[in-house]
Structure 1
Amino acid sequence: MTGLERARIVVIGSTMMDMISYLPRIPDTGETLLGDRFALGFGGKGANQAVMAGRLGAEVWMVACVGTDVFGDMTLDNFRAAGIDTTYVTRTSAASSGVAPIWVEAGGDNRIVVVPGANALLTEGQATSAVSSIPRVDVVVGQFEVPQAVTAAGFRAAKERGALTVLNPAPAADISPDLLSVTDWLMPNEVEFESLAGSTPTDTAITDLAARYGVKVVATLGEAGAAVADGSGRVVRITPPATTAIDTTGAGDAFVGAFSYGLAAGLSPTAAARLGCACASSSVARAGTQSSFPQAADLDAALTWARA
């Protein structure tokens, strides 16, 4: 479908069952509101990014930990249906599978609570073994919904093999020096950027953050698109395709998965970021998380737009 080289991506990260409530507005403290509808879906930043990369045509391995509960069963079935390799997804009876209660208000804005559960029990050894064992790895992706030490271990193994590493520092938190030392691309949204840089993502702030951390940076900016600092000394801003937002849940993950695929498939960083914008814009036009990600003709259109 893509006409690009088959990309090979490892995602070290979380799985969640999304429990999504749609309501007119967020309730005040102590207030009860009637919602419009409810949906149960598959989520977790790691899982979302893996599914998006897989839809674009990548071979994707997921490194994760789920419970021995029904949510764990459902998560594994969903990965298999999406074509994601689950060889390195472990199971534990010591904790429940991760869950994410989500509120989506009119206009598409969302608020999310993440309960990691089994995600917190993923180990450094599991991440290292997975990345070291897979034949040829182009890009390894991580986030903050599993322990940073686990992601750092996987990234070290990736660097030893010559693979690129992409870190989505979400939810917002300080980044450990060990993890920064093996990160090639840092991909914060506006909230995460301000947490790290202490300012909004102006061109100067983006280049300063990249220089301070010794990384390349893509700042995702919601409906304003993205800003890319690829090490050339300049910042490229990308305006996304126009769309009407229904539900922004998972849009950032669609961007990260698509960007990571673009890098792995040989696109320039700017073209990869354009692909991320196109996939994220397509996602917000539909309700849900993974269920909102573009497929088939939408993906062909996104790739064409990215490479224009």
Structure 2
Amino acid sequence: MPGPRIMIVSSTMTDLVSYLDRMPDRGETVFGKDFAQGFGGKGANQAVMAALLGAQVTMVCAVGTDSFGRDTIENFRSSGIGTDFIVEVDDTHSGLAMILVDPDGDNRIVLAPGANELLTPDHVDAAFDGSPAPDLVLSQLEVPQETICRGFERARRSGATTVLNPAPAAPVDPELLRVTDWVVPNETELAILLEAETGRTVGDLEADALTFADRIDASLVVTLGERGALLVRDGVAERFEAPAVRAVDTTGAGDAFCGGFAYALAGGASPADAIRLGTTLASDSVTRRGTQASYARGEGLDRLLERS
């Protein structure tokens, strides 16, 4: 049976990852222990996770006409992700992410968005007009918000669920929040959203999450890393634990969560079951290095699904 249809309006990045004994201080140069290059971008990562689970994923994004862009398109094809609505843009570079990882698995990331900033509402319209209606549309904040808003407006018209992962952390246009069904921030992102919406800083997590969800009239899932996740829906907050693991590299864990959550929600699972799947996938991903490369596949993925 075909999996749920998910359209992802978002970014692609090539990850350039350096593994360090410690993070450099200001003005300091340090030697790295190791280096890896891989495919990334929040939308691309979430697309790969959802596709691995069996979703029919269509990627709506922009890349440059450079080797990074060509390799990105091929990576999507090899992952079973639809590439008909990937736009190739001249005179700019494909998105790049420079990532530093310390021995505890924590990371620092610098983004060079390039072609991602040139994805337009017209590109989104072309995707909706040229493909079957999706069950769910998923976006992040690595492309222009007006483009995401068009995607969510078209999703609403077709009866699809809309999910916004407001990352990297930034205030969100009220017009975009108006057409968003689910907001999935981490704690830092929630703090920025709350301050933009109410002028307050986060004090009590659950109370503030309830306040924010009520203000925007949307459901909310706050990801809490090793502490799991918080679901806020219909005026009720509920905590979910994450499996205990030893973290090697946390890069892309939030994207594993979002890809799994979106897949389950699009397939008709309850929000609670969608969160359990997301936390299982995210916790597993941090036990391996890399971003998309850290996501479970084959028999390893099957074992995780049995436990979630």
Whether contact under 8 Å (2:169, 2:192) holds in the other structure is yes
Secondary structure in 2 matching 1:114? strand
| Aligned pairs (5 A) from 1:267-282 | 267-282=269-284
| Aligned pairs (5 A) from 1:245-284 | 245-284=247-286
Q: 1:187 to 1:66 in 2, by over 3 A?
A: same
1:195 Cα offset (Å): 1.1
Provide the C-alpha distance between the structure 2 equivalents of 1:266 and 1:252, rounded to a whole number of angstroms: 21
Secondary structure in 1 matching 2:111? coil
RMSD between aligned alpha carbons?
1.2
Provide the C-alpha distance between the structure 2 equivalents of 1:128 and 1:142, rounded to a whole number of angstroms: 15
| Aligned pairs (5 A) from 1:1-308 | 6-197=3-194, 198-199=201-202, 202-231=205-234, 233-306=235-308
1:5 Cα offset (Å): 6.3
Structure 1 match to 2:197 = none
1:201 Cα offset (Å): 6.4
Whether contact under 8 Å (2:228, 2:241) holds in the other structure is yes
Whether contact under 8 Å (2:138, 2:262) holds in the other structure is yes
Stretch moving more, 214-223 or 121-130: 121-130
Provide the C-alpha distance between the structure 2 equivalents of 1:187 and 1:52, rounded to a whole number of angstroms: 16
Provide the C-alpha distance between the structure 2 equivalents of 1:191 and 1:223, rounded to a whole number of angstroms: 15
Whether contact under 8 Å (2:106, 2:250) holds in the other structure is yes
Whether contact under 8 Å (1:274, 1:305) holds in the other structure is no
Whether contact under 8 Å (2:2, 2:56) holds in the other structure is no
Tell me the amino acid that sits aligned with residue 213 of structure 2. A
Tell me the amino acid that sits aligned with residue 58 of structure 1. A
Tell me the amino acid that sits aligned with residue 263 of structure 2. Y
Whether contact under 8 Å (1:194, 1:200) holds in the other structure is no
Provide the C-alpha distance between the structure 2 equivalents of 1:42 and 1:86, rounded to a whole number of angstroms: 15
Whether contact under 8 Å (1:193, 1:201) holds in the other structure is no
Provide the C-alpha distance between the structure 1 equivalents of 2:73 and 2:45, rounded to a whole number of angstroms: 13
Secondary structure in 2 matching 1:298? helix
Provide the C-alpha distance between the structure 2 equivalents of 1:218 and 1:81, rounded to a whole number of angstroms: 31
Secondary structure in 1 matching 2:246? coil
1:200 Cα offset (Å): 5.3
Provide the C-alpha distance between the structure 2 equivalents of 1:129 and 1:76, rounded to a whole number of angstroms: 18
Deviations 1:147-170 (A, max 9, x none): 000000011000000000000000
Secondary structure in 2 matching 1:63? strand
Provide the C-alpha distance between the structure 1 equivalents of 2:281 and 2:274, rounded to a whole number of angstroms: 11
Whether contact under 8 Å (1:5, 1:266) holds in the other structure is no
1:24 Cα offset (Å): 1.0
Provide the C-alpha distance between the structure 1 equivalents of 2:95 and 2:60, rounded to a whole number of angstroms: 14
1:145 Cα offset (Å): 0.3
Whether contact under 8 Å (1:9, 1:137) holds in the other structure is yes
Provide the C-alpha distance between the structure 2 equivalents of 1:80 and 1:300, rounded to a whole number of angstroms: 22
Q: TM-score, normalised by structure 2?
A: 0.96
Deviations 1:92-144 (A, max 9, x none): 11210000000000110000011110000001011122134321311100010
Provide the C-alpha distance between the structure 2 equivalents of 1:159 and 1:297, rounded to a whole number of angstroms: 36
Tell me the amino acid that sits aligned with residue 159 of structure 2. G
| Long gaps (5+) in structure 2 | 195-200
Deviations 1:241-286 (A, max 9, x none): 1111000000000000100001011110010011000000010000
Q: 1:5 to 1:216 in 2, by over 3 A?
A: farther
Tell me the amino acid that sits aligned with residue 304 of structure 1. E
Count of residue pairs the alignment pairs up: 302
Q: Report percent identity of matched pairs.
A: 50
Provide the C-alpha distance between the structure 2 equivalents of 1:227 and 1:200, rounded to a whole number of angstroms: 15
1:298 Cα offset (Å): 2.9
Q: 1:201 to 1:34 in 2, by over 3 A?
A: farther
1:73 Cα offset (Å): 0.7
